[in-house]
Amino acid sequence: MINKSWEKDYPSPEHLTTDNLDENSSLKKMLDFIGEKKQVIDFGCATGYFANLLNSKGCIVTGVEINSDAAKIAEQYCKKVVVTDLDIKSISGILPTEEFDVAVFGDVLEHLRNPWKVLEETKNILKSDGYVVASIPNIAHGSIRLALLQGKFDYMKLGILDDTHLRFFTCKTTEELFKLSGYFIEEFDRTKLPIFSDSGIVPQLNEDSFSQEIIQQIKFDRDVDTLQFIVKAFPVSQEARHNQLLTKQLESALAELDSNNSQLQEAQASLENSQSQLDQKQAELEQSRSQLEQKQAELEQSQSQLEQKQAELEQSRSYSQQKESEFNFKETQLQQLNSQLHQKNEQLLAFKNEINIIETSKFWKMRTAWLKLKRLAGIKLNN
């Protein structure tokens, strides 16, 4: 139960009015759920600051508070205040004959050892159309998650890690708390607080101490900046609970069917898209095959031309070799003729030398002179 020590810094009832309530305040959201002119039981009424707000709405408030000092202040704003500990006394025991339109648990259930039992007992003091309005801190707030990554879970005087909290709730376990206690939730709201806040009710963190990847992953959760869950819940009978269970199962089945249909449609669209891509790839493949066949024909034609050129080259090489052989033969003959000519020249030169020797010899000179005389004698005889 709330206020197990008189150290909380509660708002002043005189200065807290409906006009200056923040729209993001749990008090404002609970007031909207309660409405006007109701018989209200306020569990954990503290100094009566919320009862004073309810009074302005024409409500008549009975308070329940564990702290006697706070209860004395609350008596100014409540029809009456019962000082008790809900972990020890039963609700039927402290309010055996009274009935209320609304039972309020403003940040109270998390302070109790057995909030499930307290909620079940609360049904006994509600009118036939009565209901519960509660605010519950969110232990899955992003600041708590990041603090845990640093190995920190330090209790505080106020806020989510209030040092008098005995229970901690997430969105899922808050819903389960009411369902297991025999209620169906008609309305579910939230108050918000940024992850990195110096409000004093969540761990104060340095954003630069965390990678942006981790921060972005945490921010995917809808309730990463949820400070409190605000609930309006009605009791259900056994038959109603059975019907509600069947309804929930039906809704779950329908939701699953819708999800399956959605997945089927997505799969169908994906299949059609894949088929379109397959057809496109098939057309591209056919085009590629046609181009390949064309290139193959061109390659074969080029191969044929290459073989023809190679044959012509071989023929040219053979003709060239033949001509080269003939040239070599002619060159050999020429060399032989040159050799013979050189030899004849040498012989002629030798012969000329011999003639020159003979012509320069005395014998040749005498012969030459004798022939001249003979020619001269012949000339005279003829004359």
Query: pTM for this one?
Result: 0.62
Q: Which residue has the higher pLDDT, 106 or 322?
A: 106
Residue 5 has pLDDT above 60, yes or no: no
pLDDT value for 4 = 41
Read off the pLDDT of each residue in 364-383 and give the average, rounded to a whole number: 76
For residue 65, what are the β-bridge partners? 83
Q: How far apart are CA 183 and CA 330, in angstroms?
A: 125
Q: How far apart are CA 129 and CA 132, in angstroms?
A: 10
Read off the pLDDT of each residue in 41-56 and give the average, rounded to a whole number: 97
Read off the pLDDT of each residue in 252-275 and give the average, rounded to a whole number: 82
Residue 8 has pLDDT above 80, yes or no: no
Nearest to residue 40, comparing CAs of 56, 48, 51, 49? Answer: 51
Q: Which residue has the higher pLDDT, 329 or 175?
A: 175
For the chain, the average pLDDT equals 88
pLDDT level of residue 381 (50, 70, 90 thresholds): low
pLDDT value for 2 = 40
Contacts of 286 (CB under 8 A, 6+ apart): none
pLDDT value for 111 = 97
Count the helix, strand and coil residues of the chain and give each as a percent rounded to the nearest 5.
Answer: 55, 15, 30
Q: Which residue has the higher pLDDT, 27 or 288?
A: 27
Q: Which residue has the tokens 């403003």?
A: 106
Report the number of secondary-structure helices (H) and strands (E) in the chain.
Answer: 10, 7
Q: Which residue has the higher pLDDT, 244 or 373?
A: 373
Burial class (CB in 10 A: 0-12, 13-18, 19+), 194: middle
Residue 247 has pLDDT above 90, yes or no: no
- Angle (CA) 250-124-42 rounded to 5° is 100
For residue 299, what are the β-bridge partners? none
